[in-house]
């Protein structure tokens, strides 16, 4: 009799659970971050996302949008998203304007996150900054004791066509190769590429950064703002299917129809310490936060994944300053210096922050509002090589990155 009672009780509990699932399918299909249950996108959900992306990029890639003020862009973005919400492609209550960070965020009907940038990734001040004449990369042999390691530059600023940035990175790649740092320049950075950072001793993130604000939670809505790294990899049907789990778990976000990654992306991709001691240098704006607020979400993800050290910038950083700091830092590390010593050398040469550097250029223009400066997390004593093993004088060469 007692066994019969417990069987009936168990059946009743199961029936209630099944009824609850049937009434609230959204709970059963919640993203991984809410339930811990892996999910994936269906073909029909991807098709709907592609419809949304087509409408978003038709706006953001247009000449009309390029000529709009930030306020006009906001109005156009909201009008487009309201239309998509009326079609059931975007969740109406998810549309959020973050004017401070220049972004309108939204949630696709499937639960993935999207955004529309209201600001340009390239500033007028950067475009007006002087650039140096390029020099031929020297055809020199590696250090006497062999190479000092290998590196990758994840270049996602632009596609390299008519670019005022790309020639410098091509030069740095050849130069570092000549001095024993086997350097690969990745010009078509994808989400999948960023899962292979462990193949390198040094990984350089040369991309645009932004801040993304979104709401999450089911019964009680919460809001989060986090730094993201913007890629040029365009969303398409097959990529959405391939990155379905990352999209639904909000480790990957789509901005202006292209993919962007969060700190959780790195933490998940390299969980268990798979980065295995890689040193990471980032040039992205707002990598460590903005407006005086330090945000370690991106670096935390990398360090939890096994990175030995992570260095990046607070606030928006002038491109020539960040590139000059990168040049000096890597050159000094090739010499055998620690990451801290190498960055300190760059600060001594180029200035303690990018406003100090900018004012020294005597452009006659006012600098941007908040100074950008580098932060190191992890092992600041990390090296590419032990002291004395590199016998070249790379750090003494004329920089191709300084103005």
Find the domain containing 318 and state its range. 147-210+270-378
In 179-262, alpha helices (H): 237-242, 244-248
Please say which residue of 235, 264, 293 terminates a domain.
Answer: 264
Determine, yes or no, domain membership for 32: no
* pLDDT beyond 80 at 30: no
Question: pLDDT per residue over 274-291, tens digit each?
Answer: 999 999 999 999 999 987
Tokens describing residue 157: 């600023």
pLDDT band at 136 (very low <50, low <70, confident <90, very high): very low
Q: What value does the mean pLDDT take over residues 79-86?
A: 98
One domain for residues 161 and 203:
yes
Angstrom CA distances, 26 to 112, 220, 251, stand at 14, 15, 20
**What is the model's pLDDT at position 133?**
38
**What is the model's pLDDT at position 129?**
52
Determine, yes or no, domain membership for 124: no
pLDDT band at 327 (very low <50, low <70, confident <90, very high): very high
pLDDT band at 29 (very low <50, low <70, confident <90, very high): very low
Q: What value does the mean pLDDT take over residues 71-88?
A: 98
Give the CATH number of the domain where residue 345 resides.
Answer: 3.40.50.1460
* pLDDT beyond 90 at 388: no
Determine, yes or no, domain membership for 201: yes
Cβ atoms of 120 and 67 closer than 8 Å: no
Question: pLDDT per residue over 342-352, tens digit each?
Answer: 999 999 999 99
Four-residue CA torsion sign, 155, 158, 159, 161:
negative
- Averaged confidence pLDDT in the chain: 84
CB half-sphere exposure, 195, CA atoms < 13 A: 11
* pLDDT beyond 60 at 334: yes
**What is the model's pLDDT at position 1?**
42
One domain for residues 244 and 110:
yes
One domain for residues 256 and 275:
no
Residue of 85 and 335 predicted with greater confidence: 85
Determine, yes or no, domain membership for 34: no
Determine, yes or no, domain membership for 131: no
Question: pLDDT per residue over 206-238, tens digit each?
Answer: 999 999 987 666 667 777 788 999 999 999 999
pLDDT band at 16 (very low <50, low <70, confident <90, very high): very low
**What is the model's pLDDT at position 400?**
55
Four-residue CA torsion sign, 55, 260, 293, 96:
positive
pLDDT band at 126 (very low <50, low <70, confident <90, very high): low
**What is the model's pLDDT at position 214?**
75
pTM here? 0.84
pLDDT band at 376 (very low <50, low <70, confident <90, very high): very high
Cβ atoms of 175 and 137 closer than 8 Å: yes
Residues 6 or more apart whose CB falls under 8 angstroms from that of 127 comprise: 164
Residue of 130 and 270 predicted with greater confidence: 270
**What is the model's pLDDT at position 213?**
87
Determine, yes or no, domain membership for 21: no
CA angle 67, 68, 74 (to 5 degrees): 150
Determine, yes or no, domain membership for 89: yes
One domain for residues 170 and 236:
no
**How many angstroms separate the CA atoms of 381 and 279, rounded?**
11
Give the 3-state secondary structure of residue 285.
coil
* pLDDT beyond 50 at 128: no
One domain for residues 189 and 250:
no
Q: What value does the mean pLDDT take over residues 125-133?
A: 48
One domain for residues 251 and 300:
no
* pLDDT beyond 60 at 393: no
**What is the model's pLDDT at position 6?**
38
One domain for residues 198 and 238:
no
**How many angstroms separate the CA atoms of 403 and 196, rounded?**
33
**How many angstroms separate the CA atoms of 237 and 239, rounded?**
6
CB count within 10 Å of CB 186 equals 17
One domain for residues 231 and 96:
yes
One domain for residues 284 and 200:
yes
CA angle 382, 387, 390 (to 5 degrees): 110
**What is the model's pLDDT at position 23?**
36
One domain for residues 48 and 99:
yes
Number of domains in the chain: 2
Of the listed ranges 1-5, 51-55, 156-160, the one predicted with least confidence:
1-5
Question: pLDDT per residue over 37-53, tens digit each?
Answer: 447 899 999 999 999 99
**How many angstroms separate the CA atoms of 206 and 169, rounded?**
9
One domain for residues 285 and 307:
yes
Q: What value does the mean pLDDT take over residues 382-395?
A: 57
One domain for residues 290 and 187:
yes
Pairing of strands 279-282, 202-206: parallel
Determine, yes or no, domain membership for 135: no
């Amino acid at each position: 009799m007692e066994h019969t009672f417990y069987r009936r009780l168990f059946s009743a509990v199961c029936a209630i659970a099944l009824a609850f699932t049937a009434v609230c399918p959204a709970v059963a299909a919640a993203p991984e971050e809410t339930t811990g249950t892996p999910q994936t996108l269906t073909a029909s959900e991807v098709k709907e996302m592609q419809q949304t992306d087509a409408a978003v990029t038709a706006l953001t890639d247009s000449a009309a949008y390029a000529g709009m003020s930030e306020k006009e862009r906001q109005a156009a973005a909201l009008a487009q998203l309201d239309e998509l919400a009326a079609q059931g492609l975007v969740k109406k209550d998810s549309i959020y304007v973050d004017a401070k960070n220049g972004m309108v965020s939204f949630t696709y009907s499937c639960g993935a996150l999207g955004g529309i940038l209201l600001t340009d990734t390239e500033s007028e001040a950067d475009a007006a900054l002087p650039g140096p004449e390029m020099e031929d990369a020297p055809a020199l042999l590696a250090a006497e004791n062999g190479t000092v390691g290998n590196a990758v530059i994840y270049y996602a600023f632009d596609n390299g066509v008519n670019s005022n940035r790309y020639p410098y990175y091509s030069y740095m790649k050849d130069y570092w190769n000549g001095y024993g740092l086997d350097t690969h320049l990745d010009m078509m950075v994808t989400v999948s590429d960023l899962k292979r950072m462990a193949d390198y001793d040094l990984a350089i993130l040369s991309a645009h950064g932004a801040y993304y604000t979104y709401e999450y939670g089911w019964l009680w809505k919460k809001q989060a703002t986090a730094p993201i790294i913007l890629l040029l990899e365009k969303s398409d049907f097959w990529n959405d299917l391939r990155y379905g789990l990352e999209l639904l778990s909000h480790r990957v976000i789509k901005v202006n129809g292209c993919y962007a990654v969060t700190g959780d992306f790195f933490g998940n991709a390299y969980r268990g310490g798979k980065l295995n001691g890689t040193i990471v240098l980032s040039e992205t704006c707002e990598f460590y936060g903005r407006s005086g607020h330090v945000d370690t979400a991106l670096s935390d993800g990398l360090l939890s994944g096994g990175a030995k050290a992570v260095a990046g910038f607070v606030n928006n950083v002038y491109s020539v300053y960040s590139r000059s700091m990168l040049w000096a830092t890597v050159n000094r590390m090739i010499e055998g210096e620690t990451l801290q010593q190498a960055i300190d050398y760059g600060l001594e040469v180029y200035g303690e922050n990018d406003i100090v550097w900018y004012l020294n250029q005597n452009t006659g223009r006012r600098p941007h509002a908040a100074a950008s400066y580098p932060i190191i997390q992890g092992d600041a004593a990390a090296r590419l090589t032990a002291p004395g093993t590199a016998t070249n004088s790379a750090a003494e060469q004329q920089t191709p990155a300084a103005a």
